[in-house]
A and B are shown apart, each in its own frame.
Chain A
């Protein structure tokens, strides 16, 4: 099952770019320093940003300032393991957009994920 709620961090980690691009929700994969490694086609389209401009940048300070707070960015710093779904409002293309975020972080895994469902 590759649904927004059910997909596992392991599954995401092993998927190739093409597979990730077929997922109907946004997938952002970050290094432990917060640099963007994965930015799938869905997220590319909805945020209006081609992945070449996002990959390698610091996600919370360049692209997702609105997640740079205690509700999202801080949790990745504070918590060793997260698998949580939260209701949120993003400013995609400057429009306040209600979304559901799934935050995924596991101990022993270098990469963590933010899944975004509109």
Chain B
């Protein structure tokens, strides 16, 4: 007879023996402490011999980066990678493994290994299909092909790329392909390096946005970064395919507008704002730069709606958005958060710059009446600012809350004014 604890132990062992995903516990030097059968089954063909005792030694040939990733990871614990792809073997016996590693302590790590070869093959097919459909939908005028090295720097161009962009070969070679992005308010750009990281993981990355032309202009560009297929050197580099789309289908343009713009004012909508702002926050943190959030709320807006009707209210909101956007820089994002509340996101702006910008917005609203047909309405708004340089560790939600608190102060102290959040004001 087995005790209850022994029975439980046996059930746990069987659970791990039968687990379809590989599970390995290993030390900082790669020594395997615990390993389940599925993991061993994945490691044996890589090792080519039945003695598998060190993870780093087994992976040396196909994923030498594992050792570095673990050494470079500074936090005391946490996720080191999630679904990191490892291409094992060569030719038709090659498998793609997805590897997630968690650091438990300085000396203890756990990794899962899953065979995702099938998924990768499906993704490849999907990529081809997607590219085909995109060309059917969008009326592609020109396709340019460039070659990128493993770091995403352009290392070879074709004539088609020179024709499409107008740049000379020497202006393109050696530069990161993202240096030619020309983002605007409506396009949420991937972070630098993101496209390469995703392409390395999934085999491809698709994006569309504005791209620079040599004459200073820009064109709408669909961009595919694809891992170059060399079985013997999987990290050889990437192929960048750029498609100039001059006749963006009306449906696609409408859809894009619907997804990113507020239907009434034409400002960015909430979803787009939060997505773009979070990307910008990460980018600012990485670049050691500031970023400002200005929240504004139209003063006594209820009186407009109640006194002049909702049509007048709508006109006011549209005009507020128009005037504010006219005062902002192209890289700033102006969005309607809801009701009569708007937000402006100013990349790289310090608190001082944000206050100046907010005051410019304030004056452009208060300075001139808004024509609502029968009535000329004098409209003011109150502003609250917060920035990363004043609160460097703030999340986006915290930045918005701080700006909201400042806005509340602006309202309480008489409206039509700008108040900035300062960390030392919290208690005041």
A interface vs B, CB < 8 Å?
47-50, 53, 61-69, 71, 86-91, 93-96, 98
Contact = CB atoms under 8 A, between A and B. Distances in A.
B8 to A, nearest CB: 12
Interface stretch (B32-40, B253-261, B279-287): B32-40
Contact of B18 (A65, A67, A94): A65
B17 interface: yes
Q: Which 9 A-B pairs have the closest CB atoms?
A: A65-B37, A66-B37, A94-B34, A66-B40, A88-B50, A48-B13, A91-B40, A91-B37, A91-B35
- Overall SS of chain A's interface: mixed
Contacts of B32: 96
Contacts of A48: 9-10, 13
B50 A86 contact: yes
Given A65-B18, A69-B44, A87 B13 contact: no
B132 interface: no
Contact of A96 (B7, B18, B35): B35
A89 B39 CA distance: 12
B376 interface: no
Given A64-B37, A96-B53, 13 more contacts: A48-B10, A49-B13, A50-B2, A50-B6, A62-B17, A62-B18, A65-B17, A65-B36, A71-B44, A71-B50, A87-B51, A94-B13, A96-B35
A48 B13 CA distance: 7
A89 B34 CA distance: 12
Interface residues of B, number: 29
Nearest to A65: B37
Interface in B43-64: 44-45, 50-53
A96 B50 CA distance: 10
A19 B10 CA distance: 24
Contact of A65 (B7, B38, B45): B38
Contacts of A87: 50-51
A69 B41 contact: yes
A49 B13 CA distance: 7
A94 B35 contact: yes
A65 B37 CA distance: 5
Contacts of A63: 14, 17-18, 37
B50 A49 contact: no
B34 to A, nearest CB: 4
A66 B41 contact: yes
B40 A89 contact: yes
B16 interface: yes
B14 A53 contact: yes
B276 to A, nearest CB: 46
A49 B10 CA distance: 5
Contacts of B40: 65-66, 89-91, 96
A98 B18 contact: no
A61 B18 CA distance: 7
A52 to B, nearest CB: 9
Contacts of A62: 14, 17-18
A116 to B, nearest CB: 13
A105 B189 CA distance: 63
B51 to A, nearest CB: 6
A79 to B, nearest CB: 18
B405 to A, nearest CB: 52
A37 to B, nearest CB: 18
Looking at A47, A61, A87, A94, the one whose CB has the most chain B CB atoms below 10 A away is A94
10 contacts: A49-B13, A53-B11, A62-B14, A63-B37, A64-B17, A65-B38, A89-B50, A89-B51, A94-B16, A94-B36
A61 B52 CA distance: 20
Contacts of A49: 10, 13-14, 17
A94 B52 CA distance: 13
A65 B6 CA distance: 22
Nearest to A87: B50
Nearest to A99: B50
B131 to A, nearest CB: 37
A27 B281 CA distance: 62
Contacts of A95: 33-35
Contacts of B23: 94
A49 B17 CA distance: 10
B18 A53 contact: no
Contacts of A66: 37-38, 40-41, 44
Contacts of B44: 66, 69, 71
B41 A93 contact: no
A98 B35 CA distance: 13
Nearest to A48: B13
Contacts of B33: 95
Contact of A91 (B10, B36, B45, B51): B36
B310 to A, nearest CB: 67
A9 B143 CA distance: 69
